[in-house]
Structure 1
Amino acid sequence: MKNMLFVQNPSEYRLLDSYIGYIPEVSNREDLYANLSASLCFPDYFGKNWDALCELYLDFYWIDTLNIVIIHENLSKLSFDDFRMYMSIVLYCIDSWKKDIGHNILFVFNQKERKQIMDIIHDCLQADDFKYNLKETAL
C-alpha cells in the first residue's frame, strides 16, 4: 500500500533527507498522542483527540523537510478500538492527500503488526460507508 511500509526493526529504519518521527511502543491513546506530539513537534494547539490528529496529519505545514517518515515501534498495546481508529485516520489521510500537501509522508510499522494492521485496513475498506463513518467518528 502506498505511503505504508512494514519493517523488522522500526527503530533502525532511516530515509536520507527526511524528517523522522519515531513513535516508541505506546500503551494507550494518551500515550500515542503524547509521543506523536513530541516526535512530530505538533503545534501547541494540538487538542489531543482524534479530530485534532486527523487535521494535523492532513497538513504538516510546520515541518519544512519534504519527506516525513513516521516510524511506529509497537501499537499492539492500544485497545482494539483505538488501534482501529488510528489506522482509520492514517488511511483517511493517505486517501485525502493531494499533490499540494507539500510533503511525501511514509508511515512505517513493525512487521510483527502487519497482519493486525492489514486486517483493520481490510475491514475499513470493506465497509460501504467507510469514509462517512470515519468522518463522523474521527472529525
Structure 2
Amino acid sequence: MVASNTFTFVPDVRAFVTSDALVARVAGDIRTSQQLFDLLYRVLTLPGYFGFNWNALFDCLRDFHWINERMVLIVHDDVPALALSEMKIYLEVLRDAVTDWKPGEAHALQVVFDEKDRARIENALAGA
C-alpha cells in the first residue's frame, strides 16, 4: 500500500486546521527516534506506561482510551530527519495504525503531511 492511499497530503500543512479533533503536530529538528518518541509522548498525551519504542507507539496509536475526541490527527509540520531505516519503520507504524482503525470504532487516526513531502514519504516507505 502506498502512502497516497493511507496518509493525507495537503498543499500547505502549516495552514491545516480542523475542529473537533485532537491535533498533534510534529515539528522541529527531530533527528532520532528517541526525540520523536519524546515529542509524540507530549503532543499525544500518551499514557505513563508508553514504552518509548516502535511497538509501544503502535499499541498506543491503536488505543486512544485517554482521548475524548473521536478523531486524532498527527500533522507533520516538519518531517523527522531520521535515518532511512528508522524513517521507514516510523512510516510503517503510522500506516499500519491508520489502516487498523475500522469504521465505527471509538476513534480514528489520520496522518497528515505536506504535499511537497509526498515523494520523500513514498520513497522512504519503499526503502529507497
Q: State TM-score, norm by structure 2.
A: 0.85
Question: What residue number does 1:49 align with?
Answer: 53
Deviation at 1:3, TM superposition (A): 5.0
In 2, Cα distance between equivalents of 1:41 and 1:76: 19
Question: What residue number does 2:99 align with?
Answer: 95
Deviation at 1:29, TM superposition (A): 0.8
Q: Kindly provide the CA deviation profile for residues 51-102 of structure 1, in whole angstroms up to 9, marking residues without a partner as x.
A: 1001001111110101111111222511101110001111111222223531
Distance 1:34 1:76, change over 3 A: closer
Structure with a larger share of its residues in helix: 1
Sequence identity percentage: 24
What RMSD in Å do the two structures reach over aligned CA positions? 1.8
* Residue identity opposite 1:83 in structure 2: M
* Residue identity opposite 1:90 in structure 2: L
Deviation at 1:111, TM superposition (A): 2.2
Distance 1:35 1:95, change over 3 A: same
Which ranges in structure 1 are unaligned for 5 or more consecutive residues? 125-139
Distance 1:28 1:110, change over 3 A: farther
In 1, Cα distance between equivalents of 2:103 and 2:11: 30
Matched, 1:79 2:79: no
Q: 3-state SS of the aligned residue for 1:99?
A: coil
The counterpart of 1:5, out of the listed 5, 8, 15, is 8
Residue correspondences, number = 123
Structure 1 runs of 4+ off > 6 angstroms?
Answer: none
Q: 3-state SS of the aligned residue for 2:74?
A: strand
Larger RCO: 1 or 2 (CA < 8 Å, sep 6+) = 2
Q: 3-state SS of the aligned residue for 1:86?
A: helix
Distance 1:52 1:35, change over 3 A: same
Which ranges in structure 2 are unaligned for 5 or more consecutive residues? none
